[in-house]
Amino acid sequence: MSAPIRIAPSILSADFSKLGEEVRAIDAAGADWIHCDVMDGHFVPNITFGPDVLKAIRPHTTKFFDVHLMIAPVDPYVEAFAKAGADLISFHVEAGPHPHRTLQAIKAQGKQAGIVLNPGTPAAMVEPLLDDLDLILLMTVNPGFGGQSFIHSVLPKIAQVRALIGERPISLEIDGGATVETAPLAAKAGADVIVAGSAVFKGGPSAYAGNIAAIRKAAEAARGDWV
């Protein structure tokens, strides 16, 4: 029996003036994970928030905090994000020359570790890291902003990475442009965690549960038999 598809709303699309309330709302609306996008204005052309904000929203939910670091360098900040309440920390393979060292630093904090690949980065980059990973995140937009369109040319890479994972207990997450139309394509190719920002938060709090359920239903209906 394969693991269920998990939906990870990205708080990048939340109302930042009431982030605690927004986190409670997506928790109540059925989010499996809370996806937290950290941007530094250097690795990506946008700035979001750091560990202090993560720490401030942590008491608002017990759900799994999936922290996506779009920063360079990564290593000096691993401990701060771990102590702020991350359950999993992922970072970009493009962010530095020593990904094994960063994975070890995350594991040393007792946290799950993930690697992220930009749309133009080949699947083979994860191969040397497979034994140290809890999650692989494939970007389906260029990182930096919410509300962009899904890049369809990433779909074959999702299937390639699913094949590389084999029987290993590694989650395969996609991030960017996920909707009721595109999430099923990613799930069919092999993704089992779907990040969705604008597609979850559109319509305001009364729409969150319906938005999450619609993405989940579409992805579950299309999922491949890859596990």
Ligand X SMILES: O=C(CO)[C@H](O)[C@H](O)COP(=O)(O)O
- List active site positions: 37, 175
Residue 37 beta carbon to ligand X: minimum distance, rounded to whole angstroms: 5
Residue 134 touches Fe ion, criterion: CB under 5 A? no
Q: Is 52 annotated as a binding residue?
A: no
Cα separations in angstroms, 90 against 110, 180, 190: 14, 25, 19
Torsion of CA 134, 140, 142, 145, to 10 degrees: -90
Among 141, 158, 212, 215, binds ligand X (CB under 6 A): 141
Is residue 92 within the footprint of ligand X (CB under 6 A)? no
> How many residues sit close enough to ligand X to count as binding (CB under 6 A)?
22
- The one among 6, 68, 92, 216 contacting Fe ion by CB under 5 A: 68
Among 22, 32, 37, 173, binds ligand X (CB under 6 A): 37
Question: CA 172 to CA 150: how far, in whole Å?
Answer: 17
Rounded distance, CA 166 to CA 111, Å? 23
Residue 147's contacts (CB-CB under 8 Å, 6 or more residues apart) are: 13, 197, 198
Rounded to an integer, what distance in angstroms lies between the CA atom of residue 113 and that of residue 77? 14
For Fe ion, the binding residues (CB under 5 A) are 37, 68, 175
For ligand X, the binding residues (CB under 6 A) are 10, 12-13, 35, 37, 68, 70, 141, 143-144, 146-148, 175-178, 195-199
